[in-house]
């Protein structure tokens, strides 16, 4: 703390301690408190561990994928930064064009190899999720079992998506706890 805050640089360690006590700042240990509203939390975590172990011990026949979706914008948001005003560098200016639309991506990370498969679209809805499952089935066609570990987004349980999964018997969904 003495190195971080200039005004504490001349204080001794015990002096810093007294200042912190005066400011009512205490030393506390952080606690990891895992809580999930999912009544099947323990069973789901056990299932995920089992699937990951199977994929690690038999990588020629079994694969485990972590699947998720996200959105992103073409132009990143400006973040805070420190920079001298007289640095001589020109400042970039936004052109004012309104082409900063949000795109979505659905992707899967192979838990053993790190390979990433993805599908990008303006919208990731049931059609795109189904198309991505078919893409995964094709990419991993030589495997006996492809476990897809995914969150509880309600689109995963949509009838259209479930119908697609029934057509792809070597893909098996493994749900994450809530």
d(Cα 17, Cα 21) in Å, to the nearest integer? 6
Q: CB under 8 Å to 121, separation ≥6 — which residues?
A: 103, 104, 105, 128
What is the C-alpha R_g of the chain?
25
- Return the pLDDT at 110: 97
Encode pLDDT of 32-76 as tens digits. 776 778 899 999 999 999 999 999 999 999 999 999 999 988 776
Q: How far is it between the farthest Cα atoms of the chain?
A: 71
User: Given this structure, which CATH class describes domain 38-72+101-178?
Assistant: alpha beta
- Return the pLDDT at 145: 98
- Domain spans of the chain, in order of start: 1-33, 38-72+101-178
């Amino acid at each position: 703390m003495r190195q971080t805050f200039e005004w504490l640089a001349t204080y001794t360690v015990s002096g810093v301690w007294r200042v912190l006590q005066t400011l009512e700042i205490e030393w506390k240990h952080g606690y990891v408190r895992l809580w999930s509203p999912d009544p099947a939390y323990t069973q789901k975590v056990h299932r995920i561990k089992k699937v990951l172990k199977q994929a690690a011990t038999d990588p020629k026949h079994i694969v485990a994928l972590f699947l998720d979706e996200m959105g992103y914008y073409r132009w990143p948001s400006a973040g805070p930064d420190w920079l001298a005003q007289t640095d001589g560098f020109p400042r970039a200016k936004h052109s004012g064009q309104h082409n900063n639309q949000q795109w979505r991506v659905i992707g899967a990370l192979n838990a053993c190899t790190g390979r990433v498969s993805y599908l990008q679209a303006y919208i990731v809805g049931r059609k795109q999720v189904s198309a991505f499952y078919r893409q995964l089935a094709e990419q991993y066609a030589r495997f006996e079992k492809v476990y897809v570990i995914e969150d509880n987004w309600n689109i995963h349980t949509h009838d259209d998506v479930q119908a697609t999964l029934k057509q792809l018997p070597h893909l098996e969904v493994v749900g994450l706890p809530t």
